[in-house]
Structure 1
Amino acid sequence: MDAFLLWFDEFWAVYSNLVLTLGINALLALSIWLTLACGVLALANAAFMGIGAYAGALATLNYDSPFALSIGVAMVAPSLVALAIGLPVLRLGGVYLAMATLGFGEVVRVVILNTESITGGALGLNGIPQYTQWWHVLLALVIVIFVLARLHRSKTGRAFEAIKVDETAASLMGVDLRANKLLAFVLGAAIAGLAGALNAHLTFFIGPQEYGFDRGVEILTMAILGGVTSIIGPIIGAVFLTLLPELLRGLADFRLIVNGFILVAVVLFLPNGLWDPARFRRWFGSGR
């Protein structure tokens, strides 16, 4: 027992940040899964993460607010922004919506860069207290999964699914397309803001480069790679995409090449993602 505790202490001292990052990335993947579940391809989650990170960090640094209050501010701020931009932007669809939300992400990055007196500009914010503990991330993940699971099984969740399958048919059945899309967009922004605040209070430092186009694509890749047919898929995709670079670290210069090949192989041979309940049913069904 003592040997195990000693091993665990050594493991946690080295890999604690990686383990907590797994949970934070899972929250980000769930944030975009929620909008995808409503048929909305919005790529603003990295920007919402950034807004949440800066709002929570500034509340802590400038106003010495309790960690719980900083988390609340980090969720409310991107939700209000999502509500403001969602009203006009969600009139668009498909690639036009994706382009509009990508443009919004660039606007957020430029605003952060040009408000040095508040955000620190290109130098970012440093010295953020490390309040995030393992149980904060675990509790946040459990609550988000519980809420999304209940939402998915509710009348609103069925409306999301109807919109995703066929907007015209859903509208004819009386589903309010605009209200449901806006709800998914705002809730996704709140979850992304929560992840941003937890990350900011884990890493001590945040900068605008962390919330750009690359981060937005990474969040989308986590959800698509894991599979968007259930809540479990994005979590598996986040774990896979977070651990893969660490597992390939020993390959040195070839790490990124092998990483790319693995991702391409998964997309080609598992088009519905790593977690596909329909595929599992076919496998087990064929064995009977």
Structure 2
Amino acid sequence: MEKLSPKTTAILTILTILVFMFLLLIATKTLDSYRLRIINLMAIYAIMAVSLNLINGITGILSLGHSGFILIGAYTSALLTLTPEQKLISFIIEPVNPLIQNLHTNFFIATLAGGVVAAIFAFFIGWPVLKLSGDYLAIASLGFAEVIRIIALNAQSVTNGALGLKGIPEYTNTWWAWGWLLITVVFIVSLVKSSYGRALLAIREDRVAAEAMGINVFKHELMSFIIGAFFAGISGALYAHWLTTIDPKITTLGPILTFYILIMIVLGGLGSITGSVVGGVMFALLMEWLRNLEDPFTLFGLSFPNGIKGLRLLVISTIFILTMIFWNRGIFGRNELTWNSIYRFFKKRGVKK
């Protein structure tokens, strides 16, 4: 089948990135702060979805502990960007630990640190947990996410306990969010296309056959787990500096966040990086658009002056269930949107005409 040359696809990719950057520039100049925050949230959710899809969709590991890595990245980066003076003011119940009191750096280093610390935790968690499989692995990873949240609630001198961290600088802007999404997508796409990535796909299809072919299944799964956790930590750092506050008592960074991300990758297509990006963008838009259901509204002549609290999550859950029943492949299935697929699509339409 005829394909575009690598040079052509590279040129088209670069031009697309430049056009998209131009559109983002226009957006930053013309849109209000609320719409810009939603645009930034789209990119953050997309990073979360792509990183989990590497673990769940591409490698075939049923992990439900992704929110734990996001929380680690959020706390790590926030503690590094808060000034020593802010930490002294924020830590009321117990004084801040002297080891972290004077730690302070710029946002880029703090974001990288969030990813690295999450990856280190993934190594120590993944080493025993990945020896399990199926439901046992899912339950163990979900338990890890809850353990991290409970530790955050009780480690007063490090995380400020239930009071959380307030006054986090709002560093996450359009360029940081979408720039990190570009890095995440490029890295994971390159990984999947490599021999290492083909081994991950083989493990997803049949672990026994992959091991029989000489693939070290545990080593590859562990590396996939660590890489996914690294980018989850990156997304947590961006999320914390988008929210400007971390509160472990609420669901924003709790285990339910993992299920939000699962909804994103299932809607987009489990195993598709393109689908993960689309799913993250769609989820951010749906969550904001459906917020109107929790405000006063009228439906079929019935008035709801106080709205219906929690209705948007009910609608999102219903969409997820219907997708699993009637369209479990999601939007893209395991397919990717590539220049060659676009070229073949238009060529077929041209032939039919």
TM-score (norm 1): 0.90
SS at match of 2:198: helix
Judge which range, 171-180 or 227-236, deviates more.
227-236
* 1:25-64 paired onto structure 2 within 5 Å: 25-36=45-56, 37-61=58-82, 62=101, 63-64=103-104
Equivalent residue, structure 1, for 2:41: 21
Judge which range, 157-166 or 198-207, deviates more.
198-207
Which of 100, 113, 125 is the equivalent residue of 1:73?
Answer: 113
Q: Judge conservation of contact 2:290–2:312 (CA < 8 Å) in 1.
A: yes
Check if 1:175 corresponds to 2:196. no
SS at match of 1:248: helix
Q: Distance between the aligned counterparts of 2:76 and 2:244, measured in 1? A: 14
How far does residue 7 in structure 1 lie from its aligned partner after superposition? 9.1
How far does residue 10 in structure 1 lie from its aligned partner after superposition? 5.9
SS at match of 2:123: helix
* 1:61-210 paired onto structure 2 within 5 Å: 61=82, 62=101, 63-208=103-248, 209=250, 210=252
Structure 2, gaps ≥5 residues long? 1-24, 83-100, 295-307
How far does residue 256 in structure 1 lie from its aligned partner after superposition? 4.1
Judge which range, 210-219 or 134-143, deviates more.
210-219
Identity %: 37
Q: 2:191 is aligned with what amino acid? A: L
SS at match of 2:271: coil
Q: Distance between the aligned counterparts of 2:245 and 2:65, measured in 1? A: 21
Check if 1:270 corresponds to 2:290. no
Q: Judge conservation of contact 2:273–2:336 (CA < 8 Å) in 1.
A: no
Structure 1, gaps ≥5 residues long? none
How far does residue 94 in structure 1 lie from its aligned partner after superposition? 0.7
Q: Distance between the aligned counterparts of 1:221 and 1:162, measured in 2? A: 24
Q: Distance between the aligned counterparts of 1:169 and 1:199, measured in 2? A: 39
Which of 226, 236, 241 is the equivalent residue of 2:268?
Answer: 226
SS at match of 2:328: coil
Q: Distance between the aligned counterparts of 1:233 and 1:8, measured in 2? A: 26
Q: Judge conservation of contact 2:155–2:161 (CA < 8 Å) in 1.
A: yes
Highest RCO, 1 vs 2 (Cα 8 Å, sep ≥ 6): 1
Q: 1:74 is aligned with what amino acid? A: G
Q: Judge conservation of contact 1:236–1:275 (CA < 8 Å) in 2.
A: no
Check if 1:248 corresponds to 2:274. no
Greater Cα radius of gyration, structure 1 or 2: 2
Which of the two has greater helix per residue?
A: 1
User: What's the C-alpha RMSD, in Å, of the aligned pairs?
Assistant: 2.4
Equivalent residue, structure 2, for 1:217: 259
Cα pair distance change 1:120/1:230, threshold 3 Å: same
Q: 2:135 is aligned with what amino acid? A: V
How far does residue 60 in structure 1 lie from its aligned partner after superposition? 1.5
Q: Distance between the aligned counterparts of 2:50 and 2:263, measured in 1? A: 12
TM-score (norm 2): 0.74
Cα deviation per residue 1:108-158 (whole Å; 9 max; x = unaligned)? 011101111211111110011112221111111111111111111100111
Cα deviation per residue 1:254-288 (whole Å; 9 max; x = unaligned)? 5444433333332222110122366999xx78996
Q: Judge conservation of contact 2:59–2:224 (CA < 8 Å) in 1.
A: yes
Cα pair distance change 1:277/1:105, threshold 3 Å: closer
Q: Judge conservation of contact 1:266–1:274 (CA < 8 Å) in 2.
A: no
How far does residue 249 in structure 1 lie from its aligned partner after superposition? 3.1
Q: Judge conservation of contact 1:129–1:204 (CA < 8 Å) in 2.
A: yes
Q: Distance between the aligned counterparts of 1:82 and 1:58, measured in 2? A: 20
How far does residue 89 in structure 1 lie from its aligned partner after superposition? 0.8
Cα deviation per residue 1:197-235 (whole Å; 9 max; x = unaligned)? 111112210121333221111112211121023210111
Q: Distance between the aligned counterparts of 1:71 and 1:150, measured in 2? A: 22
